[in-house]
């Protein structure tokens, strides 16, 4: 299927590793120009070079997304370089384990900054250009907003905010034909997930226990499966889909895990 994404300029925050890298790759495979915004220059540059070495187009900006001025400079760079923005994928974030019992207010607010405040900032900055292109926004979210996890109040609250903003922006941006959707992730094995699993005394058994509770095929969702849904939602092939929270999770969130 031709998704009509050739030479469309799509910002992907955190687009050099994990799910973000899957999204960047999927977009590039469809002929889009992913513009990665990330804070680790080495990772970002390697990702862009990999896309280019495989015949695609890509570019980047280095930014700490919790600093508004750096978000501004990133958007200025993409506009200066390409003159347009056709889509925004808000993906960057981290399950930082800021809980209620063992956390504190300062860390909680830091978690909100790291996991949802920059979603607003990037969308706000990109909006004038998305109006011109009638582009689309996809927010990446987590099952923690619905299922809870325990010990991660900041991340869960931020993801509840991501879901709410998805619906709110979908309403606010209707007059501009800008679609806004979210892809919700449950269990996807990324470098960050690997780091979390290894905090347990029995990581192999812990991973097997989680995987056994994923209804469809008893396996983790791949980054590619999440990425391909994001690419579809960014594309004009999903032209009448907005305000939706789409769960790419093998049924983990909504099906009976006793299955």
In a domain, 205, yes or no: yes
pLDDT, position 98:
95
pLDDT, position 52:
98
Token readout for 206 is: 């812990």
Give the catalytic positions in this structure.
155
Together in a domain, 36 and 158: yes
pTM of the entire structure?
0.94
In a domain, 213, yes or no: yes
Mean pLDDT of 27-54: 97
- The number of distinct structural domains making up the chain is 2
3-class DSSP assignment, residue 183: strand
Q: What percent of the chain clears pLDDT 90, i.e. is strictly above it?
A: 90
Q: What percent of the chain clears pLDDT 70, i.e. is strictly above it?
A: 100
The boundaries of the domain holding residue 171 are 9-186+222-247
Least confident range from 16-20, 39-43, 113-117, 203-207: namely 203-207
Instruction: Give 199 or 46, the one with higher predicted confidence.
Output: 46
Q: What is the mean pLDDT of the chain?
A: 95
What are 185-244's pLDDT values in tens digits? 999 988 878 888 888 889 899 899 889 999 999 999 999 999 999 999 999 999 999 999
Element housing 26 (H / E): helix 18-29
CATH number reported for the structural domain that contains residue 232 in this entry: 3.40.50.720
Mean pLDDT of 94-114: 95
The gap between the terminal CA atoms of the chain, to the nearest Å, is: 34
pLDDT, position 81:
98
Distance CA 229, CA 125 (A): 24
Together in a domain, 140 and 237: yes
């Amino acid at each position: 299927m031709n998704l009509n994404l050739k030479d469309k300029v799509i910002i992907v925050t955190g687009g050099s590793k994990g799910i973000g890298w899957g999204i960047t790759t999927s977009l590039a495979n469809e002929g889009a120009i992913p513009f990665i915004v990330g804070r680790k220059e080495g990772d970002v540059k390697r990702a862009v070079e990999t896309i280019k070495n495989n015949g695609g187009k890509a570019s980047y900006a280095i930014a700490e997304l919790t600093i508004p001025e750096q978000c501004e400079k990133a958007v200025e760079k993409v506009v200066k370089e390409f003159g347009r923005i056709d889509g925004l994928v808000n993906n960057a974030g981290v399950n930082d384990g800021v809980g209620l019992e063992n956390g504190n207010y300062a860390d909680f607010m830091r978690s909100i900054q790291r996991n949802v405040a920059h979603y607003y900032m990037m969308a706000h900055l990109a909006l004038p250009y998305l109006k011109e292109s009638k582009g689309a926004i996809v927010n990446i979210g987590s099952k923690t907003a619905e299922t809870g996890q325990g010990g991660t109040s900041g991340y869960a609250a931020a993801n509840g905010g991501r879901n709410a903003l998805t619906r709110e922006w979908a309403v606010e941006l209707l007059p501009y034909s800008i679609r806004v959707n979210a892809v919700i992730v449950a269990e996807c094995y990324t470098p960050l997930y690997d780091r979390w699993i290894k905090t347990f005394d029995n990581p192999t058994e812990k991973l097997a226990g989680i995987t056994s509770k994923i209804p469809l095929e008893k396996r983790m969702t791949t980054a590619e499966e999440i990425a391909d849904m994001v690419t579809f939602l960014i594309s004009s092939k999903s032209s009448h889909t907005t305000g939706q929270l789409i769960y790419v999770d093998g049924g983990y969130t909504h099906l009976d895990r006793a299955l």
